[in-house]
Chains A and B, each alone.
Chain A
Amino acid sequence: MTSAAVILSTIFILGGIFFFTTATIGILRFPDFFTRLHATGKGDTLAVLLCLIGLAIYEGFSLTALKIVFIAVFMALAQPTATHAISKAALRVGVQPWMKGEKENDSSI
């Protein structure tokens, strides 16, 4: 374990934590459901990827690191799909997107 790898993995994990934090703030602050999906769909994907890559670098070159990379690939494929699934269901059920100028009627079903 070289110190360069440790520093690199620390940077990656801290970046991941930063994007997790902004995604959480986004979930709490955005005005309606679809804009909140912007926060979860994008923010969590990049944050998870960064954290997993950081942990894989910390683990070093082994089969466990490869499994962590598998999780990363799976999340990169699954997270946008899950976002798409929720938003599709919401649109078909009849949740209206919030437009600028409306007052906040955040009463989605």
Chain B
Amino acid sequence: MEVTLLIQATDDSFRILEDARNQAKGLLDSARILEDAREQAKGLLDSARILEDAREQAKGLLDSTVGVTSETRQMEKQKIQTIFQGVQETKSGFQNFIVTFSLLFVFWILLSGKFDMFHLTIGVICSIVVAHLTHDLLFANVRVGDTMVIVRRFIIYIPWLIYQIIRANIYVACLALSPKMPIDPHVLRFRTKLESDISWVTLANSITLTPRTITMDIKDGEFFVHALDKRVADDLHAGEMEDRVAHIFMEADHIYIQDALDVARIYVELRKWV
């Protein structure tokens, strides 16, 4: 009797254990499902966060576009309003003529040095004739920029250039006077990031005048430089002079009117989409 009771109790306890195990298994399973769900939820959250970020970035982009355009609007109004309405050709031609004429007349006065009526009249006539013939030469391919800033930066650039010329000449003098002449010439080639042709001229002539290098050729935007020394390669590839020239002519670190106008066009397109 007692044995049967014992067996029953054991059976019961086993059943309870079995139930508990089953329940635990079910719990575990549900926990695993929950885990999965949680991970899925986390993934969803992450993607939501990414979406949020993207939205904020988009907003920032839009804001910055608005800022750039509102800055450039003013310049547009001041300088280009009339230019982009069809009268660009004649007006800029006339402005070029006026500027060329005044430059040439100042040059005439400095050359002539006579201030009586007769010579001044001849000067005006000659300046008008030459300015009419060559008004498209002096100011061809000039990018719209702040001329006074360029002139000031160029004047600041000159003393550095003179210092470099003197260094270059002392180097050449030492080479020419030294009996063994330790030179190791080779040809370098590098590409430049400069765009306008006046800055190319400045860069090429500066390379010719600074120590150890002369500009040999420019083919397809690639500078061929003849150097007297191996060391100079690093200097040129570091591009200190290029940066200086870019700084003078406001290239690569300034927004141009044309670029601003492009941005404005893109902004109009964006507004249509939004």
Contacts and interface: CB of A to CB of B under 8 A. Distances in A.
Whether A and B touch directly in their complex, counting CB atoms under 8 A apart, is answered as: yes
Given A42-B165, A42-B209, A63-B110, A100 B184 contact: yes
B183 interface: yes
B172 A26 contact: yes
A90 B116 CA distance: 50
Most buried by B among A42, A88, A99: A42
Interface string B13-54: 000000000000000000000000000000000000000000
Interface string A73-98: 00001001101100110011000011
Chain A binding surface SS class? helix
Nearest to B184: A100
B208 A34 contact: no
Contacts of A77: 205
A37 B214 contact: yes
Q: How large is the interface on B (under 10, 10 to 19, 20 to 34, 35 or more residues)?
A: 20 to 34
Contact of B172 (A31, A42, A88): A42
Nearest to A37: B214
Given A42-B169, A63-B113, A87-B214, A100 B185 contact: yes
B248 to A, nearest CB: 16
A22 B217 contact: no
B111 interface: yes
B110 A66 contact: yes
Interface stretch (B64-72, B89-97, B174-182): B174-182
Contacts of A63: 110, 113
Given A77-B205, A80-B204, A100-B184, A34 B169 contact: no
A4 B155 CA distance: 27
Contact of A45 (B111, B175, B184, B209): B209
B166 interface: yes
B224 interface: yes
Contacts of B212: 38
A56 interface: no
B183 A100 contact: yes
Contact of B214 (A31, A34, A66, A67): A34
A57 interface: no
A93 to B, nearest CB: 11
B169 A80 contact: no
Interface in A21-65: 22-23, 25-26, 29-32, 34-35, 37-39, 41-43, 45-47, 63
A38 B205 contact: no
Contacts of B204: 80, 84
Given A37-B214, A41-B208, A91-B224, 18 more contacts: A18-B173, A22-B169, A23-B176, A25-B176, A26-B175, A29-B181, A30-B175, A35-B185, A38-B226, A39-B172, A42-B209, A43-B169, A45-B165, A80-B209, A84-B205, A84-B216, A87-B215, A100-B183
5 contacts: A19-B173, A34-B216, A43-B172, A45-B165, A80-B215
